[in-house]
Amino acid sequence: MSDMIPVRTQEQYVRDVAEIMAIRARGAAPKALVHTYGCQQNVADSEKIKGLLEQMGFSFTEKEEEADLILFNTCAVREHAEDRVFGNVGALKNVKRRHPSLIIALCGCMTEQEHIAEKLRVSFPFVNLVFGTHVIHKLPELLFSTLTDGHRVFARGDDSEDRRIVEGLPVHRDGDIRAWLTVMYGCNNFCSYCIVPYVRGRERSRAPEAILSEFKGLVAAGYRDITLLGQNVNSYGKTLENPVSFAALLRMLDEVPGDYRIRFMTSHPKDATRELIDTIAGGTHISHHLHLPFQSGSDRVLREMNRGYTSAQYLALVDYAKRKIPDLSLTSDVIVGFPGETYPEFQDTVSLIRQVEFTSLFTFLYSPRVGTRAAKMPDPVPAEEKSKWFRELCAAQEEIAARRCAAMVGTVQRVLVEECREKTGLLTGRTDGNVIVDFHGNPDSVGAFADIKITSARNWILAGEQITK
């Protein structure tokens, strides 16, 4: 007789977890609280996690006391975000004391780092399950082990997982107007400050057919604003057997008939091509919005960051884009206080934002990440001084954003209506350039596009009146 243990399938794990959880929840549907930290990629991952949980019979709650499973999908981009996660996990100890069968799970970028996994192992013994970004698809198996093996489960991807893309996972989408669609995973760039290539692995692109099929499904389901996601979408397709450029993928998706917008993020300036700009300019559904992180206006700092472009190259690309797409809305990410940055170098950043006139900026104070090259660089500028620079940059950007918004007063903008606020009855939506507009109008317009006459501007938020019902 063979003593081989039969391999369980994903379906069996799903079924078994559903049965065990139903018993633990005494016949009621078990409830999960999934909290997401960080970027849109994490939001998209959480939607897959929720899809898998739903398959296993879970419904969702926002209340810790009601939950049978609490899962934090974490972010590793800044130290502050990690500290917040540790604080919030620590607070769960009391919830678990009151509800001993509660399962506490952590996943995401933080947990892919060995020193974090170790800290969770040693200092947070009440955490049951820790898993990395590469093994999300194995959640049913990991939960099954957590529930049956009687010990804590720690799982991170190995080299083979690093190269895999698992298609066909169920997705529980949080909204029904805007959707996230991942086109690629990982990053090959190794910017010297960034932890992403270490925690999300090398670039892997989904097959264009798989993306097209998911995209068509979203359009057919009525999603109006679809954002294509990747750490560096402009590298899309380079590693496919039959390479496809990101611009070509955009053109393919843009041909799908329907009333919707396509956005994408993030674009790395060194890989953003004129072909991409021309594609946006010639598209039917592609938003005239480009998120193009420049990070610093100083060439020396850009070199130290390993960004692969100069400020002049960045400005030349922006200049081309503005000529081709006059109503283009540009947004960006900036790091203030990179190790060794001087005040004159910081001023180069301020000067660049004044030249480009971004619609909005995501500004970050540099945060050292263990394992990155920048974390070992001398960093002589005190934190208070960096904070002063940070405030200076924000003030400059506020002035630019207010001016740009004021220039839109009197224009008519096509706005995707996202919500009717209960308290005020005001509707809110986004322009093609991703600027928020509050307006009086028809609540039945939620989920549709409407033409809004812009009547006033408050810093970076617009106010208006609906002129199409």
Asked whether position 190 contacts ligand SF4 by CB under 6 A, the answer is: yes
Contact with ligand SF4 (CB under 6 A) among 105, 196, 199, 446: 196
Identify which range of 16-24, 185-193, 219-227, 246-254 contacts ligand SF4 by CB under 6 A.
185-193
Asked whether position 187 contacts ligand SF4 by CB under 6 A, the answer is: yes
Rounded CA separation 165/163 (Å): 7
Contact with ligand SF4 (CB under 6 A) among 41, 73, 113, 232: 232
Contact with ligand SF4 (CB under 6 A) among 170, 197, 368, 447: 197
Distant-in-sequence, close-in-space partners of 265: CB < 8 Å, separation ≥ 6: 40, 227, 228, 229, 233, 291
Identify which range of 166-174, 192-200, 212-220, 247-255 contacts ligand SF4 by CB under 6 A.
192-200
Q: Minimum distance between the CB of residue 200 and ligand SF4, rounded to whole angstroms?
A: 8
CB of 218 or CB of 374, closer to ligand SF4: 374
CB of 111 or CB of 431, closer to ligand SF4: 111
**Of 164, 167, 262, which Cα lies nearest the Cα of 210?**
167
Q: Minimum distance between the CB of residue 332 and ligand SF4, rounded to whole angstroms?
A: 12
> With CB under 6 A, what is the number of residues at the site for ligand SF4?
10
Secondary structure (3-state) at 241: coil
Asked whether position 231 contacts ligand SF4 by CB under 6 A, the answer is: yes
Q: Minimum distance between the CB of residue 112 and ligand SF4, rounded to whole angstroms?
A: 14
Q: Minimum distance between the CB of residue 116 and ligand SF4, rounded to whole angstroms?
A: 18
Structure tokens at 449: 């596009």
Rounded CA separation 104/33 (Å): 10
Could you tell me the CA-to-CA distances from 413 to 56, 289, 416, 466 in Å, in that order?
Answer: 44, 14, 10, 10
Q: Minimum distance between the CB of residue 335 and ligand SF4, rounded to whole angstroms?
A: 9
Residue 83: Cβ within 10 Å count: 10
Contact with ligand SF4 (CB under 6 A) among 105, 191, 262, 437: 191
Between β-strands 289-291 and 329-336, what pairing exists: parallel, antiparallel or unpaired?
parallel
End-to-end alpha carbon distance in the chain: 73
Asked whether position 405 contacts ligand SF4 by CB under 6 A, the answer is: no
Q: Minimum distance between the CB of residue 82 and ligand SF4, rounded to whole angstroms?
A: 16
Q: Find the binding residues for ligand SF4 in span 323-382 (CB under 6 A).
A: none
Q: Minimum distance between the CB of residue 151 and ligand SF4, rounded to whole angstroms?
A: 34
**Of 116, 198, 209, which Cα lies nearest the Cα of 165?**
209
Q: Find the binding residues for ligand SF4 in span 241-270 (CB under 6 A).
A: 268
Asked whether position 229 contacts ligand SF4 by CB under 6 A, the answer is: no
Q: Minimum distance between the CB of residue 269 and ligand SF4, rounded to whole angstroms?
A: 10
Quick one: CA dihedral 285, 289, 295, 298, positive or negative? Answer: positive
CB of 201 or CB of 429, closer to ligand SF4: 201
Helices 311-324 and 274-282: crossing angle in degrees, nearest 10, is 20
Burial class (CB in 10 A: 0-12, 13-18, 19+), 363: middle
Structure tokens at 410: 């009197």
Q: Minimum distance between the CB of residue 412 and ligand SF4, rounded to whole angstroms?
A: 36
Identify which range of 119-127, 193-201, 350-358, 403-411 contacts ligand SF4 by CB under 6 A.
193-201
**Of 231, 305, 319, 301, which Cα lies nearest the Cα of 268?**
231
Rounded CA separation 26/252 (Å): 49
Query: Can you give the binding site for ligand SF4, defined by CB under 6 A?
Result: 187, 189-191, 194, 196-197, 231-232, 268
